[in-house]
Amino acid sequence: MNSRNGVGQARIPAGSTLVLTGLERTRVDNTRTGPGNPNLFVFGGSRGGGVRRELIVITITPEIIDFGQPRASR
């Protein structure tokens, strides 16, 4: 597993949303199935595959909470 570290700073007003994206990965899958040699389509062999793209998105929405006030008035 690879890892990367980073440090950043952002100033955003309370109630605004900061969107962070990273760790984009594309995975290609190929499958072959069938009795004996899967490449022999005459004898029931088959191929399949697909592409899967993964992306991590983190959203941060700061909210100022006054703990000195009763809960009902927040």
9-64: per-residue pLDDT in tens?
888 888 899 998 877 888 888 888 888 777 777 777 788 888 888 888 889 998 88
Under DSSP, the state recorded for 35 is S
Residues 66/74, Cβ–Cβ less than 8 Å: yes
pTM of model > 0.75: no
